[in-house]
Chains A and B, each alone.
Chain A
Amino acid sequence: MAEVKLLGFWASPFSDRVIWALKLKGVNYEYVEEDPHNKTQLLLQHNPVHKKVPVLIHGGKSIPESSIILEYIEETWPQNPLLPQDAYQRAMARFWIKFGEEKMATICAVFRTAGVEQEKAIQEATKLLKIIEEQGLGDKMFFGGDGIGLGDIAFGWLAYLYEVVEKVSAVKVLDADTFPQLHAWIQNLKEVPVVKENLPDHQKLVGHLKRRRETHLALLNCHN
């Protein structure tokens, strides 16, 4: 079988998604840790347009952009399907994956803001999370239905990254009382063995995001 290589970054949720998908499909791969401040020739060669991780290299062919990689993995390794068979259900899954991607920056804006701006960011995030919970997840156990699917993988950052974002930003948005279904989903997702065994180290992530938060705050103070 052609060699599979993943260029990633330990703190990147986009990287983690690809790891989960590869592991759920039982695909063997070599992982290459990239330093975003010191990009390798390999990365620049395989993602010349965006110069970002993750990049999947399969038999020498490069596939950048996590959502594109996820679909590629689904099509190339059909075992343990992560998308429904039915075209309409697939469209629904893709709709929510797109929604999550488009709104991720807004939901995480609490991280880049302070004071009144942060208050506004909390309100915006709450609104969007409510839409995701009520219309995306609904009564389902997973976005994918009874089992984990690409939707859960794409929203996975909500399950482990967001609590770190909240912690370092000193806010609480995704609380259990306001979002009971999302909270149940988070617990269920974290119990999936592939997810449980492939989460970045919590303390390390806190330290990493704390430093980035300080940078954002410094920038905000510069403009005052």
Chain B
Amino acid sequence: MAEENKVKLHGVWASPYVKRVEIALKIKGIPYEFAEEDLVNKSQLLLQYNPVHKKVPVLIHNGKPICESLVILEYIDETWKNGPLLLPQDPYKRAKVHFWTSFVEKELLENVHLVVRSEGGEQEKAIKVVFEKLKLLEEGLKDLFQGETHHIDGENMGILDIVLCSLFGAHKAQEEVLGVKFIDPEKFPLLSSWVTAFIEAAVVKELGPPHEKLVAVYQFLRQKTLQASAA
């Protein structure tokens, strides 16, 4: 591949943010090289490419770095226009997708992280908040899908599917380690069937990581939390 067109993704296998970008690249059929970063010992290259946040993922295209997973997803959608679109064309539908993506990112994700990283009363509070937000999301999905059946296969995952997948794709591992069932089909039927659909999507299955590895990641994070509070 010509140097100018080369696509390289700097990331780590365990990061759901990196996973978002990989899913998008695969859906669009864009060949890329993956560079595994060591986040404890960050490379000079990473610090050069992402001086502001010093984080992954970073996408390098035509030698230029793009940082922040959601910014990268939009860049991918705007640059590779053949193949499935990650965002709808219609501005109002786009706005709705942006709204719920922002909701998942800001309201759900942070609170789920809090559940992983806290214990006792603080964790109970965080769990309660997650359930409140999930309820709002379930309501929102009724409006978002508006009677149209939302099919997910490896062909048509969009930004909202990708972001939700990066959070709840690991829901079984979360359940196993945290002992909380967020994706409850009785409480949240639309959300549950949606999550099940994208977990089964070929592109998601292909990228993994497998259940056991996800469990290990959550166990590691949980242990860190408990050790920190014991110290």
Contacts and interface: CB of A to CB of B under 8 A. Distances in A.
Interface in A125-141: 131, 135
Interface residues of A, number: 22
A100 to B, nearest CB: 12
B95 A71 contact: yes
A94 B70 CA distance: 9
A131 B50 CA distance: 12
A150 B64 CA distance: 22
A157 interface: no
Nearest to A135: B52
A99 B51 CA distance: 13
Contact of B94 (A71, A90, A135): A71
B94 A72 contact: yes
Given A65-B99, A131-B52, A72 B91 contact: yes
B67 A95 contact: yes
A2 to B, nearest CB: 11
A56 to B, nearest CB: 9
A135 B51 contact: yes
Interface of A: 49, 58, 61, 63-65, 68-69, 71-72, 75-76, 87-88, 90-91, 94-95, 98-99, 131, 135
A95 B74 CA distance: 11
A65 B96 CA distance: 11
Nearest to A75: B91
Contacts of A90: 74-75, 78
Contact of A68 (B62, B66, B102): B102
Contacts of A135: 51-52
Contacts of A95: 66-68, 71
Contact of B92 (A49, A61, A64): A61
Contact of B71 (A61, A65, A71, A98): A98
Interface in B22-42: none
